[in-house]
Structure 1
Amino acid sequence: MEPKPVVSTVDGDVPPQPVPVQSPVPSRYESQKRRDWNTFLQYLTNHKPPLPLSRCSGAHVIEFLKYLDQFGKTKVHTRDCSFFGHPNPPYSCVCSLRQAWGSLDALIGRLRAAYEENGGKQESNPFGVRAVRIYLKEIRESQAKARGIPYEKKRKRKCLTPSAREGSKAGAGGASTSSSAATASTSATASASARETGDGSAIAPP
């Protein structure tokens, strides 16, 4: 088979080849979300009996979170442990490792988003039901007591609007101008008083 002739341009150059379009690299969050979703689907497949996603409820989600405790790395002391409520125990104990509340909360957030991205409806999302929220709250409180680490909500900083920021700057500028004017007035009064005495000493204002 004869090779096809190369088509040249007017200047005699070979036309440039089209550059293949590369798909964007997924972010760390998107990659983690995909792994979490695949893990949950695998859990449903291995469920006894196998559980279709359409029949998954909040109770199954809580069951999944409890299943993940066996892979946890956070020491949670029991009430019988002498280190219960101790934030920095001097040595290790036999208490089991669990999934930290923060990890479970972030996991549910990713799975809730993945469920809707894969065709699920918001009103039937098992990851957003009240039972799951209550379970996470109980985990947060129990782990805080067991580990002696109180949970505190982060306070959100109040964001100033551009007009508010300009007003704040203007107020600061006005205060600075007033202070400068007052200083100048005091200096002028002191100088005048000094001239009146004739000896160069300043008289304290009344």
Structure 2
Amino acid sequence: MERGKDLAAAEPSAAAPSRYESQKRRDWNTFGQFLRNQQPAVELHHCNSSHVLEFMRYLDQFGKTKVHLQGCLFYGQPEPPAPCACPLRQAWGSLDALIGRLRAAYEEHGGSPETNPFASGEIRVYLREVKEFQAKARGVPYKKKKKRSGATRNDDDDHSNSSSTTPFS
């Protein structure tokens, strides 16, 4: 009887998917439901980057990150002193992680890397624009991290000021 308890106790942890795998499955199912709800419904093999962009914009309504609009008094302020009516949106980091999971799930479900709509140039451009716009709206300009090659921290900081930020339109 003891041996049976040991096997039963060990089995659930071995069979339980990781947090990443669980989230990837939920994301994949949510995207599939989004495609089925389109009028007319979209088959996965007909999905393209336009559908992915539409999905990310759809998800914005469930976001929790305040993104100040350019006309807002608090636009560009890292810590606004009062509430405002600016929308809540999905944070760039959340969208980036989502696309990474969906990109992997697409290929795991038989999709070709060459036709992966989550890996398209349009998606990369959109994510870059969201990142830059959100950074600017918060008043914290995005600075690309440079790889260290033995330089001091001050040298790296001096060179990081040259990155540009363009507004998201």
**Aligned equivalent of 1:42, options 22, 33, 42:** 33
The alignment-based identity, stated in percent, is: 62
What TM-score, normalized to structure 2?
Answer: 0.78
- The aligned runs of 1:1-206 (5 Å cut-off) are 22=11, 23-156=14-147
How many residue pairs end up in the alignment?
143
> Where does the alignment leave 5 or more consecutive residues of structure 1 unmatched?
1-15, 159-206
Counterpart amino acid of residue 28 in structure 1: R
Q: Could you tell me how far 1:145 is from its partner in structure 2? A: 1.1
1:105 aligns to what SS in structure 2? helix
The structure with the larger Rg is 1
Q: Could you tell me how far 1:110 is from its partner in structure 2? A: 0.4
What TM-score, normalized to structure 1?
Answer: 0.65
Instruction: Report the counterpart of residue 201 of structure 1 in structure 2.
Output: none
Contact 2:66/2:88 (8 A) holds in 1 = yes
Distance 1:157 1:144 in 2: 23
> Where does the alignment leave 5 or more consecutive residues of structure 2 unmatched?
150-169
Q: Could you tell me how far 1:156 is from its partner in structure 2? A: 4.8
Q: Could you tell me how far 1:152 is from its partner in structure 2? A: 3.0
Relative to structure 1, is the Cα distance of residues 74 and 50 closer, same or farther in structure 2, using a 3 angstrom cutoff? same
